[in-house]
Structure 1
Amino acid sequence: MTFLFIRMTLDDSFITWRYGKTLAESGVWNWNSTGPLVEAYTNPLYAALSIVPAVLGISAELFFKLVSIAMVAGYVLVVRRARLPRIQEFVLLAVALASPVFYVQLYLGLETASFALLIGLLFSILYRRGSLGTAGFLVAAAVAVSRPEGIVLAFVAIAWALVLDRRNRANWIGAVSVLGGWGLYWCARWWYFGQFFPNTYYKKTANDESLFVKILDLALVIGPLLLPIVLGIAVAATLYRRQVAISHERPQEILRDATPALLAAVSAAVVLGVYQKSDLVMDPGHRFYWQLLFPVVLVVLSRPIIRPAQTGPDSLLYRRLFGLIAVAIATVTVVAWHESLSSVAMIVGVGVVAVAVIVGFARDTRVPMAIAAIGLATTVGFTSTSELTSLLAYRYRLADAHEAIGKAIERTQLPPGSIAVGDAGILPYVVDQRVVDVSGLGTVATAHGTVDAEYLDEQNLGLVVLISREPVAGTTNPVDSSPVFYDYVTNERPDFVAGRAAMFADKYYLNYWISPEWADSGLADELDEVFERSKRDNAMPNPAVFMDNLWNFPFLR
């Protein structure tokens, strides 16, 4: 699968990597080397790592492919060292390594896979040991700086470790170190960038509803779905209690066994309370809920679900009980996200989980727990064949469109000026000019909706590239801040010349408007050539694009 999916790189990943490049070339930690400071990334860990290839002078794309391969090797090593029963070890490896969606998230260049694996490792350490220890607190720190919501997961894990063993002085030292260190980092970036949240938060927040309204909306969606499961579990648990004589375990052991259910509940709250309420555009393989719900599978399977011969009949009772509850919560979260059973794979996955959970509560056996985990992995990791083929062709389309425009700009001797781009990613990464991000991720003014003609006059725009559904010069889609830019180049500055820059896919074109100062540079001729080449190559269907580039790996160029 690596042969197939390693060729994929999402355009958004280049937004983060541009920080390392800018720092290495100009000594400034910013998306642009000049202009207002902006935090266009949500993954500080990958932003910091992007410095390495920039300093070494190697391809950032190649570097992060190697990081992804190292993650796979690390995952296999951790699973093998866990010394689980052989069949359980096989299942734990298979839910990741046999899943196409796992490889999609692994190689897209985003932090999705690393974030999921770190969360899984963090809660697995807590679940297996009943404490975090030095390694666990280091993993908690990595989770906290992987994404803004990572601090929620890190805080919950640390708080749970204190609940399990509040008398351990090392736990308190670790908690203060990680949470205090994160607080200092957050305040430092707030002081540096001038915004409490990353710029992406202001772009992706879909509405300004109160927290109470969001909680009420969430309850109305998840309540009807959760109620039948709760009733089914209650009935099955009653039947189970009639079959098994239950002794009392220590409260700390019961709480430790509840770790997977805790993770599932927190993940469900973030997925449905935050992600679903946000304007999430790039969500290949449902990466947002995958990165929080896939770890539930890993944690549930991280401790033996087979009873050792020398233990009593109820030694794994609570472990299986809370494991099944965790799987049920995560599955309901996926259904609530889609608000329906939207595919055959999802129907099968949910059905398998439902049967396994009910049987698992009714009978004292390890089989339902393993089957439930597999069902959850299927439910979380499903995607359509059309999306997979689209992703396999994606990087080649990007090379013939966005990247080709950037290289055309780099080949051309241009007077001073900036570029406005409607789809920021690899195009700004390739060029040296200051870039205004029309979508809002890389520019504060567009994220906050304060762009006007006066602001655009100050940017000294030489080129504006906007997305359009038609290959017709002078057309654009009215999305994000593009209407303001379109009005500027057609009404405020009618001396801008319109043209066609590139075709990415059917009904996805990049059109340009070039200023009089840049019109005589020869750039328009370069962009016309890019359009003709992209129209020839990107007009093909996705399977044809992929097969035409079967042995072409862009990160090796």
Structure 2
Amino acid sequence: MLTVPRRADTPRSEDPELEDREPTRRRRTVLLVAALAALAAGVWACWSVTVDDAYITYRYSANLAHGFGPTWNPGQDPVEGFTNFTWMLWHAPWVWLGVPLPVVSKLTAAACAAVIVWVLVTEPRTRSGAVVAAGSFVLFLPTWVHVDSGLETAPFALVVLRAVVLAARLLSDRSAAVRSWEIPALLLLAGTLRPDGVLGVAPALLVLLWVRRRDRAVWLWTAAAGVVGVGYLAGRWAYYGHLLPNTFYVKVGVEAATDGRWIQLTAATLLPLLAFAVAALFRARTAAPAALVLASCTALWIIPALSAPAMDYLSRFAWHGFPLLCLAAAWALDTVELRRVAAAAAGVGVVWTAAAGFLAPDARTLVHYGDDLRRAHIAIGLALADTDLPADRRTVAVSDAGAIPYFSGWTATDYIGLNDERIAHGASPTEVLLADDPAVLVVTSSSPEPPSASWRTDLPRVLGDRELVGVAQMRPEYFQLVFAKPDVAGEVRASLDRRLAEAREVTDTRLDPGYTRWVERLFGTS
């Protein structure tokens, strides 16, 4: 029978073959503490990073908490511009309590990441396995960024990891203590955290249904999860009017990516872990669980591999399966008889993965994301909120539909279409903006001068007589240009000047994307 590596808490006497190689409980505890300390240090170092997309979810959570329902603009036709229903729902109660939603996201994701670390330390049965799994995870810079980003990335990864661990135990022992309801519940949770979440948990569910195929309770719980899932989909469809989230129609397939760029980057970044996982296929003890991991990763990665999903910064969609690969790598090293060879392989895996994280194309930009966002988008949103305008004049159009609409609280037109059904389903952004006629229009540009077009929008036609009232620079070639109608231009300009000046005082004012700037800011020397 195929077996997965023994858990750390299994008595030594039950596995005499590896008795002399298994780390003691004390060493395992030291490793766990060290890994959690490294994770805490990384989360602290990237604490300021909250990506703009997270504020989209926060806006829906705030509207739900205030009694308007999960919608973009209160009082208007509901639109589903988020893809993380359970994550959005989780944040709503904290709005009532007055807790900043980015703090809620970061602490929740950090707790989930800490549980992942515990799994990666305790599931392998050898020190080398635990080191490669936990070390790769906590020293990978994208781990720190994704925990702090404000999105559902870490909780989702934990859900998938838990499902795979349970299924792997069933592959080892058909009578393992796996509850009949847990994997079906995880499938439901994954699907409400992300629309494609069911793909990642589906292989684990198939293992459960095969191994426990004569267990009536398993089929009943799976059917119950299916009924709840169908009810959830039907409710969404009835409320929003579309089967899929609005963002699906805009983000997926933004550009052709069949040249394999995403696959090449992912393979290069995770090469040792992938190699270890594949090697595990050729050992009887680990073949089945390794196949399960690779099947789950393939299911998670098939959509981003064949499309170009927006906001896949620092390989976020690849990171969903990252803990799985860490664990599969550990299982592979657990079977290596020569301790020094296993230790050397673990060292190579950790060093390669850590280096790949720091050398990632967008890593230097992402570590400054929060500071740069504060200087531009957040400052603009707060400035709009400060203006003393009547409710019917508090209307804004944006291409970056995150922090600006969230902090302003204004009625917002997202002319990319992520939060606008008209544009997502084919309407011309130019015609939509002309129809909405917002008082303020914020344009993303690569220079202080407005581009001739933006996201299929005829800007000169849309801008009309609006005045340029402020320019916020986020990065060397990333500007937000704020245009306002003449009757509100003075008010908006005054608020914007004040908030931009405040932002410059609390940020490091530098624009270069480099690690030196990051370190200097962390230690207050910039």
Note if 1:541 corresponds to 2:512: yes
1:438 deviation in Å?
A: 2.1
1:332 alignment partner in structure 2:
none
1:340-385 residue CA offsets vs partner (Å, 9 max, x unmatched): xxxxxxxxxxxxxxxxxxxx8xxx7688788778767776762345
1:224-277 residue CA offsets vs partner (Å, 9 max, x unmatched): x9xxxxxx99xx99xx99xxxxxxx9xxxx8x9524323313533552x42133
When normalised by structure 1's length, the TM-score is: 0.72
Distance of 2:510 and 2:519 partners within structure 1: 14
1:413 alignment partner in structure 2:
388
2:424 alignment partner in structure 1:
447
Distance of 1:88 and 1:489 partners within structure 2: 59
Note if 1:425 corresponds to 2:402: yes
Cα separation, partners in 2 of 1:525 and 1:489, compared to 1, 3 Å: farther
SS in 2 for 1:145: helix
Asked if the contact 2:252–2:310 (Cα under 8 Å) also holds between the matched residues in 1, the reply is no
> After superposition, where does 1:80-95 map in structure 2 within 5 Å?
82=123, 84-95=125-136
> After superposition, where does 1:158-557 map in structure 2 within 5 Å?
158-206=205-253, 257-268=287-298, 270-271=300-301, 273-299=302-328, 301=330, 306=334, 382-385=356-359, 387-415=362-390, 416-417=392-393, 418-451=395-428, 454-472=431-449, 475-476=450-451, 478-481=453-456, 483-484=457-458, 486-490=459-463, 494-520=464-490, 522-530=491-499, 538-543=509-514, 546=518, 549-550=521-522
SS in 2 for 1:197: coil
Distance of 2:52 and 2:452 partners within structure 1: 19
- Matching residue's letter, 1:429: Y
- Alignment identity in percent? 25
Asked if the contact 2:297–2:324 (Cα under 8 Å) also holds between the matched residues in 1, the reply is no
1:115-135 residue CA offsets vs partner (Å, 9 max, x unmatched): 222212211111023365233
- Matching residue's letter, 1:440: G
1:491-544 residue CA offsets vs partner (Å, 9 max, x unmatched): xxx222234331111111111221234234x11233245556768954442457
- Matching residue's letter, 1:513: F
SS in 1 for 2:404: helix
1:23 alignment partner in structure 2:
64
Asked if the contact 2:470–2:482 (Cα under 8 Å) also holds between the matched residues in 1, the reply is yes
Distance of 1:150 and 1:185 partners within structure 2: 14
SS in 2 for 1:89: helix
1:9 deviation in Å?
A: 1.3
1:36 deviation in Å?
A: 2.3
Q: 1:60 aligns with which of 92, 98, 101?
A: 101
Asked if the contact 2:49–2:367 (Cα under 8 Å) also holds between the matched residues in 1, the reply is yes
Cα separation, partners in 2 of 1:379 and 1:103, compared to 1, 3 Å: same
- Matching residue's letter, 1:11: D
Asked if the contact 1:140–1:154 (Cα under 8 Å) also holds between the matched residues in 2, the reply is yes
SS in 1 for 2:74: coil
Cα separation, partners in 2 of 1:137 and 1:548, compared to 1, 3 Å: same
SS in 2 for 1:12: helix
Distance of 1:458 and 1:91 partners within structure 2: 57
1:429 deviation in Å?
A: 1.0
Structure 1 segments unaligned to the other structure (5+ residues)? 226-231, 242-248, 307-319, 321-359, 553-557
SS in 2 for 1:435: strand
Asked if the contact 2:167–2:205 (Cα under 8 Å) also holds between the matched residues in 1, the reply is no
Asked if the contact 2:54–2:149 (Cα under 8 Å) also holds between the matched residues in 1, the reply is yes
Distance of 2:415 and 2:346 partners within structure 1: 42
Asked if the contact 1:105–1:112 (Cα under 8 Å) also holds between the matched residues in 2, the reply is yes
1:13 deviation in Å?
A: 0.9
Note if 1:43 corresponds to 2:84: yes
How many residues get paired? 457
| Structure 1 outlier segments of 4+, above 6 Å | 364-381, 532-536
1:128 alignment partner in structure 2:
169
1:443 deviation in Å?
A: 1.6
- Matching residue's letter, 1:157: A
Cα separation, partners in 2 of 1:409 and 1:207, compared to 1, 3 Å: closer
1:464 deviation in Å?
A: 0.4
- Matching residue's letter, 2:308: D
- Matching residue's letter, 1:383: G
1:545 deviation in Å?
A: 5.3
When normalised by structure 2's length, the TM-score is: 0.76
1:430 deviation in Å?
A: 0.6
Distance of 1:383 and 1:477 partners within structure 2: 37
Distance of 1:550 and 1:207 partners within structure 2: 36
Asked if the contact 1:127–1:257 (Cα under 8 Å) also holds between the matched residues in 2, the reply is no
1:413-470 residue CA offsets vs partner (Å, 9 max, x unmatched): 1132321011111111111211111222222223234035553344241100010111
Distance of 1:144 and 1:380 partners within structure 2: 29
SS in 1 for 2:226: helix
SS in 1 for 2:223: helix
Distance of 2:299 and 2:124 partners within structure 1: 32
Cα separation, partners in 2 of 1:458 and 1:38, compared to 1, 3 Å: same
Structure 2 segments unaligned to the other structure (5+ residues)? 1-41, 268-274
2:44 alignment partner in structure 1:
3
SS in 2 for 1:115: helix
1:42 deviation in Å?
A: 1.4
Cα separation, partners in 2 of 1:366 and 1:539, compared to 1, 3 Å: closer
- Matching residue's letter, 2:188: A
1:15 deviation in Å?
A: 0.8
Cα separation, partners in 2 of 1:300 and 1:44, compared to 1, 3 Å: farther
291-300 vs 157-166, which moves further: 291-300
Cα separation, partners in 2 of 1:373 and 1:81, compared to 1, 3 Å: closer
Asked if the contact 1:115–1:146 (Cα under 8 Å) also holds between the matched residues in 2, the reply is yes
1:22 deviation in Å?
A: 1.1
Q: 2:201 aligns with which of 124, 129, 154?
A: 154
- Matching residue's letter, 1:397: D
Cα separation, partners in 2 of 1:456 and 1:285, compared to 1, 3 Å: closer
Distance of 2:143 and 2:307 partners within structure 1: 23
1:70 deviation in Å?
A: 1.5
- Matching residue's letter, 2:46: F
